[in-house]
Amino acid sequence: MKKILFLFLIWTSLGLAQINFDDYFFDKTLRLDFFHTGDHTTEIISLDELIEEPFWGGSKNNLIDTFNYGNYKFEVRDSATNSIIYSRGFSTLYQEWQTTAESKSVVKSMSGTITFPFPKKTANVEIFRRERNGEFASKFNYSINPNNYFIRKGLDNPKEVYEVHISGKPAICLDILFLPEGYTREEMELFKEDCQRFAEYLFDYEPFSEYRDKINIRGILSPSMDAGSDIPAEDRWNNTLLNSRYYTFDSERYLMTQDYKKVRDVAANAPYDQIYILVNSDKYGGGAIYNYYSLCITNNPMGKEVFIHEFGHGFAGLADEYVDPYTYEEFYPLDVEPWEPNITTLVDFESKWKNLVDEDTPIPTPSTEEYKDKVGVFEGGGYVAKGVYRPTQNSIMRVLSSPGFNQASKNAIEQLLKFYTD
């Protein structure tokens, strides 16, 4: 009894008491668009506009984020009580850009958007950014009047939804939304086939395979004028739905779009938790950012492996476990424990996969035959060879030919799947 009471006190003092969705929210989405502006070390977040969208694809039980992942987070507070009624962590392309050499000589703006269930009463939205030391700092504060007639309504251009794999109601399923990029009008049937093919790819990997009946997958049928994607270094510019391009941050295989507003406009046609952009291209490439979007190519021999690797980033915030000294500078400060569940700087390894490491496995763990299939702490990951450690010698977050995620990543993915499908 004592224990139960104690737990209850902790629960309520953290403000995690169950929030009744219908008390605070309508069953639709409010989207807040903004701009990130700054350079290598600075960032201002400024308001763009508010948009009402017809569907809410998220959970109605788990309104408060319990993972603390992401380089940003936002909180929605009920103005009358000042209690948190919704929160989520996320990361952005802008923050990645700030670790490139270009950011030292240029001030740049990039679009950002967040979505949350549409508040019934006046609410406050606050966006926080994770500082170098790992702590969050407030960057943006805005009071929302849900009756403000400047909140834009109506879909830009309503589009047909293709049901790929439907298991149940959006509130109790993980809803993945495939967006077509670089499929012409004549190729809409090809896009449907690719939706089916990539849905099956997802279910080939643990732990997604075990949640097949808790996952919905839909596609939006919206053609592009041209096939493929932009390739700036080859002077190839195509007219496509989502304005994606290779050579993001001048890395040939980093295929992304900076037109985040357009991505959200197209996605608004269906309920979703996760956006996945399928690019009709055979040139190797892809990218994904936590709770932002994932993107992969559909016609490359490595398409399946790229697809699942990128979803590890987009869905579960997994870090790359490989070494790549060329694209970023000090992506992970070595004196701070990164928030990503599958890498550690050993600053706070207790908070990571220590429970999976056998007592007789040395930390750090040598990359020898003896520890080939064991969970340990292997040096090299997060783009650097020294000071960042990964759970296994190989996994799909390090080498695409690996059979799948390592156990630390699987556990992180499964916790999120439970959170979405509760």
Query: How far apart are CB 229 and Zn ion at their closest, in Å?
Result: 18
Name the residue among 313, 322, 309 with its Cα closest to residue 385. 322
Query: Which H helix or E strand runs over 123?
Result: strand 123-130
In the complex, least distance from residue 420 CB atom to Zn ion, rounded to whole angstroms: 22
Asked if 164 and 413 touch (Cβ cutoff 8 Å), the reply is: no
Question: Which residues neighbour 192 within 8 Å (Cβ) at sequence distance 6 or greater?
Answer: 162, 219, 221
> Which range of residues in 98-106, 150-158, 254-262, 315-323 is near Zn ion by CB under 5 A?
315-323
Q: What is the dihedral of CA 246, 252, 255, 260, to 10 degrees?
A: -70
For Zn ion, the closer CB: 244 or 421: 244
321 is a contact residue toward Zn ion (CB under 5 A): no
CB of 372 to Zn ion, least distance (A): 23
Q: Which stretch binds Zn ion (CB under 5 A): 168-176, 222-230, 312-320, 404-412?
A: 312-320
Q: Applying CB under 5 A, which of residues 320, 321, 337, 340 lies at the interface with Zn ion?
A: 320
Tokens of 20: 């009744």
Calculate ∠ Cα 129-336-359, nearest 5°.
130
- Give the DSSP letter string of 339-365: S-TT-B-SSSGGGTTGGGS-TTS-SSP
Closest approach of Zn ion to the CB of residue 252, in Å = 14
Determine contact, residues 326/315, Cβ cutoff 8 Å.
no
Binding piece for Zn ion, criterion CB under 5 A, among 6-14, 138-146, 224-232, 318-326: 318-326
A 10 A CB-CB count for 349 gives 15
Contacts with Zn ion: how many residues (CB under 5 A)? Answer: 1
Distance from first CA to last CA of the chain, Å, rounded? Answer: 27
Q: Compute the least distance from the CB of residue 315 to Zn ion, in Å.
A: 13
Closest CA to 344 of 412, 421, 399: 412
Mark the segment that binds Zn ion (CB under 5 A) among 202-210, 231-239, 257-265, 314-322.
314-322
- Nearest one of 288, 316, 287 to 412, comparing CA atoms: 316
* Strand ranges (E), 182-264: 215-221, 244-245, 256-257
The least distance separating Zn ion from the CB of residue 286, rounded to whole angstroms, comes to 8
Stretch that binds Zn ion, among 119-127, 166-174, 193-201, 313-321 (CB under 5 A): 313-321
Query: Which of 224, 248 has the CB closer to Zn ion?
Result: 248
Nearer to Zn ion, 29 or 344 (CB): 344
Crossing angle (nearest 10°) for helices 303-316 and 407-421: 60
**Which residue, 210 or 324, is less far from Zn ion as judged by CB?**
324
User: Which residue sits closest to Zn ion, CB atoms considered?
Assistant: 320
CB of 267 to Zn ion, least distance (A): 22
Q: Which string of x and - marks every residue 272-311 that binds Zn ion (by CB under 5 A)?
A: ----------------------------------------
Cβ distance to Zn ion smaller for residue 273 or 320: 320
Question: Which residue has 């915030």 as its token pair?
Answer: 317
Q: Is 200 helix (H, G, I), strand (E, B) or coil?
A: helix
The residue among 184, 145, 393 whose CA lies nearest residue 281 is: 184
Find the shortest distance in angstroms from Cβ 320 to Zn ion: 4
- Minimum CB–partner distance for residue 58 and Zn ion (Å): 25
Q: Which stretch binds Zn ion (CB under 5 A): 182-190, 198-206, 271-279, 319-327?
A: 319-327
> Where on the chain is the footprint of Zn ion (CB under 5 A)?
320
